């Protein structure tokens, strides 16, 4: 059994209460992590406040050098981090390895980005010098989910550190290990103690204590709409700015003139990567009726050929995160059976090589009513909902008919049609003849509608973690 400690002020801190960490590939507990109390979280914030002053006063070159070095150490420890990420999430080894590489890239990218990021001068008249400068918030709070624990931590924490904030992060209770490893590694790379603190624990306990602490100047939350709403309320009480990276029900929209050879493997990956537990998963297939039959047949045969298994066998598809998540996914599929056509999948897998792991078959459901729960709700599993359309206007209407607006993919060989879709689809990212920009570290990301607000990733991701001060100097 692995025993872990929270990281506060550069020190390993244990707590009386603990939380079990389960390996989703086997269903067995393999680690314990502290369940930090509100008082322990408050202590971390106070320590971060003290550390933030020295950190914001370091030169940009110094901050960038330390951040860049952490990224190098992440790559040095790639095998170790890959192993932990695969074990706690159940994701296949090669996906976990890719997540570590993306994590390292965040450090490299923001080390460079902050070195060329500055304010501007505003030419009002010759008697006045007006300039702006970016300043940190002080201490930023970060709450992250279990699906991409390490890379989402980096996406949120690294631009904040680069901007000169100190951070307190609470990882998801299911996946605390790589956050703690990353925190320890940052200290080794020269990050001053107290600049990055990790408090493990429950959402209602440690998480709520973090987002309501008066010492927090900005909150970055990635997770579900429900929790995002409650954190937004807590932030509104204190008028603290928030970034909300929430859920999605993103479509791939396939026109009759699309290159299907190119589209099919990408669409399959967009829903099966991480067993569908991806905020930007391509969970809906909106397909022109002329190519509907062919698309469904091709995707069904690919789904059926997927190798499913424990993370360490490096299959195509690993387990879901928990028994509860699997039961939730299955309930969605069962609810749709009466009115839609489950073409493949729809079963939980157990016994044999699946043992007590939380495995679920890749599932394609055809003829989904866009107004139904299958067509509207985020399932967060390997379940693709298929609906047909006839015209571009109908495709736009279907694409925009959910409460979400995170990502969309458009598949067509007609350039004008592609750009018209980019204009009309309501989503934070629209891909044309592709889906998901690889790691996407450099590309602004975030939601419209209930998928959230604020942007992370790219240079844009720095802005949320700073605030502009304007100086007006009479000459």
Q: How far apart are CA 123 and CA 50, in angstroms?
A: 38
The Cα-based distances of 176 to 89, 321, 411, 457 in angstroms read 10, 13, 38, 22
User: Residue 440's CB: how many other CB atoms inside 10 A?
Assistant: 17
Question: Which positions are annotated as active-site residues?
Answer: 245, 279
Closest separation between CB of residue 451 and ligand NAD, Å? 6
Least separation in angstroms between residue 216's CB and ligand NAD is 12
CB of 276 to ligand NAD, least distance (A): 11
Please name the residue that has the structure tokens 């350039």. Answer: 415
Contacts of residue 393, defined as CB under 8 A and 6 or more positions apart, other chains included, come to none
Alpha helices per DSSP H over 189-259: 208-211, 225-238
Contact (CB, 8 A) for 427 and 405: yes
Q: At what angle do helices 78-89 and 93-115 cross, to 10 degrees?
A: 120
CA dihedral 458, 463, 465, 468 (to 10 degrees): 160
The per-residue DSSP string of 27-50 comes to TEEEEEEE---HHHHHHHHHHHHH
List residues near ligand NAD by CB under 6 A. Answer: 143-147, 152, 170, 172-173, 203-204, 207-208, 211, 222-224, 227, 230-231, 245-248, 279, 378, 380, 406, 447, 452
Helices then strands, counting H and E runs in the chain, come out as 15, 25
Q: Which residue has the tokens 């979400």?
A: 404
* Least distance from ligand NAD to the Cβ atom of residue 461, Å: 11
- DSSP code for 37: -
In the complex, which residue's CB is closest to ligand NAD?
A: 203
Distance, CA of 289 to CA of 300 (rounded, Å): 17
Least CB distance from residue 320 to ligand NAD, whole Å? 11
* Nearer to ligand NAD (CB atom), residue 71 or residue 149: 149
What is the side-by-side order of every strand in the sheet holding 2-3? 2-3, 28-34, 18-23
C-alpha neighbours within 13 Å on the C-beta side of residue 310? 17
CB of 133 to ligand NAD, least distance (A): 29
CB of 119 to ligand NAD, least distance (A): 28
Is residue 199 within 8 Å of residue 169, measured between CB atoms?
yes
């Amino acid at each position: 059994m692995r025993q872990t400690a929270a990281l506060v002020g550069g020190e390993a801190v244990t707590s009386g209460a603990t939380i079990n960490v389960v390996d989703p590939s086997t269903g067995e507990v393999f680690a314990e992590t502290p369940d930090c109390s509100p008082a322990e979280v408050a202590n971390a914030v106070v320590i971060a406040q003290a550390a933030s002053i020295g950190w914001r006063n370091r030169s940009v070159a110094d901050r960038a050098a330390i951040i860049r070095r952490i990224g190098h150490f992440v790559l040095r420890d790639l095998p170790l981090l890959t192993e932990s990420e695969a074990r706690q999430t159940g994701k296949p080894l090669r996906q976990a390895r890719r997540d570590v590489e993306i994590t390292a890239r965040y450090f490299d990218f923001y080390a460079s980005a902050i070195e060329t990021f500055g304010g501007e001068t505003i030419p009002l008249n010759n008697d006045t010098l007006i300039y702006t400068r970016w300043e940190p918030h002080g201490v930023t709070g970060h709450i992250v989910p279990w699906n991409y624990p390490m890379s989402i931590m980096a996406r949120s924490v690294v631009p904040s550190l680069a901007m000169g904030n100190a951070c307190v992060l609470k990882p998801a209770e299911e996946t605390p290990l790589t956050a703690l490893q990353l925190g320890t590694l940052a200290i080794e790379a020269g990050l001053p103690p107290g600049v990055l603190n990790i408090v493990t624990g429950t959402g209602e306990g440690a998480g709520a204590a973090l987002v309501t602490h008066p010492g927090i100047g900005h909150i970055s939350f990635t997770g579900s709409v429900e929790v995002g709403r409650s954190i937004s309320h807590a932030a509104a009480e204190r008028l603290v700015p928030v970034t909300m990276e929430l859920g999605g029900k993103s479509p791939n929209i396939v026109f009759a003139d699309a290159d299907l050879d190119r589209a099919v493997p990408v669409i399959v990956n967009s829903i099966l990567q991480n067993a569908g537990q991806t905020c930007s998963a391509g969970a809906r297939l909106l397909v022109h009726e002329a190519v509907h039959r062919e698309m469904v047949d091709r995707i069904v045969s690919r789904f059926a050929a997927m190798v499913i298994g424990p993370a360490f066998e490096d299959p195509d598809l690993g387990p879901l995160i928990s028994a509860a998540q699997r039961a939730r996914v299955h309930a969605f599929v069962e609810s749709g059976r009466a009115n839609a056509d489950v073409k493949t999948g729809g079963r939980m897998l157990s016994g044999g090589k699946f043992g007590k792991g939380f495995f679920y078959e890749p599932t394609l459901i055809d003829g989904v009513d866009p107004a139904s729960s299958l067509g509207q709700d985020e399932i967060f599993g390997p379940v693709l909902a298929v609906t047909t359309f006839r015209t571009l206007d109908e495709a736009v209407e279907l694409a925009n008919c959910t409460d979400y607006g995170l990502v969309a993919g458009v598949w067509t060989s007609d350039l004008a049609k592609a750009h018209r879709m980019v204009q009309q689809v309501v989503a934070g990212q629209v891909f044309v003849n592709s889906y998901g920009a690889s790691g996407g570290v450099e590309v602004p990301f975030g939601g419209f509608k209930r998928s959230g607000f604020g942007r992370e990733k790219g240079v844009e991701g720095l802005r949320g973690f700073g605030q502009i001060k304007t100086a007006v100097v009479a000459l």
